[in-house]
Amino acid sequence: MEVKKQFSEKALKDFRLIDEAVHQNDEQAYAMLMKSYKKPVYHMILKMVRNVDDAEDLTIEAFAKAFKNLHKFKKDYTFSTWLFRIATNNTIDFIRKKKLETTSLHSSYTDDNGSSVSIDLPDKELNPQEKAIKSQKVELIQLFVTKLPAKYQRLVRLRYFDELSYDEIAQELNAPLGTVKAQLHRARELLSDLVKNKREHI
């Protein structure tokens, strides 16, 4: 699809990086996209869930899904708009599942093209897109988790596959809560590297 002239220079740069990532499997292109948007995506999610650990988890999931589906991205809107919507939908699904108490999500942010993008919490029934996201979450993590060291694999499986809380994981492993949190933090860092580099390096 032809790139429209009204896009900002930053948006056009993102389009070039996406082309390099998809068509050339350029690992640096993936890394640059993640570097550009990891902090704003994280801070947006943190405002929604109000929990640092959950926000870190959901940020990794958002990029994993976006990169897995990057070949489907169309240049009729900015990459930031597409990415933020993926992150928002994924987080909404998480909020519903965990039945968290949240503040109103009727707010918006401005994407690279200057357009206002709403972040709204729909009704309680999952729509088809959200159901698809929900069903893909385990699959997305599975793409990377098998490359982790064994001690981290079990933690990630308990957290993502069995959906245990940090306290429940600590009880399951008979380990201090602080140790569980520290090791899961390290596991997230390794997953982040795998997402960015898409190669075995552990």
The CA distance from 202 to 194, in Å, is 9
The b/e string for 33-67 (b: 16+ C-beta within 10 A; e otherwise) is bbebbbeebbebbbebbeeeebbbbbbbbbbbbbb
Domains and CATH numbers, the chain: 9-197 (1.10.1740.10)
Q: 7 pLDDT band (50/70/90 cuts)? A: confident
The CA distance from 61 to 20, in Å, is 22
Where does 71-177 show beta strands of DSSP type E?
Answer: 107-110, 116-119
Q: What is the pLDDT of residue 82?
A: 94
Local structure of 169: helix, strand or coil:
helix
pLDDT digits (tens, 9 = 90+) for 84-99: 999 999 888 888 877 6
pTM assigned to the model: 0.53
Q: 187 pLDDT band (50/70/90 cuts)? A: confident
**155 touches 141 (CB < 8 A):** no
In whole numbers, what is the pLDDT of the chain averaged over residues? 76
pLDDT digits (tens, 9 = 90+) for 110-128: 555 555 554 444 444 555 6
- Res 136 pLDDT > 50: yes
Any idea what DSSP says for residue 72? G
**22 touches 70 (CB < 8 A):** yes
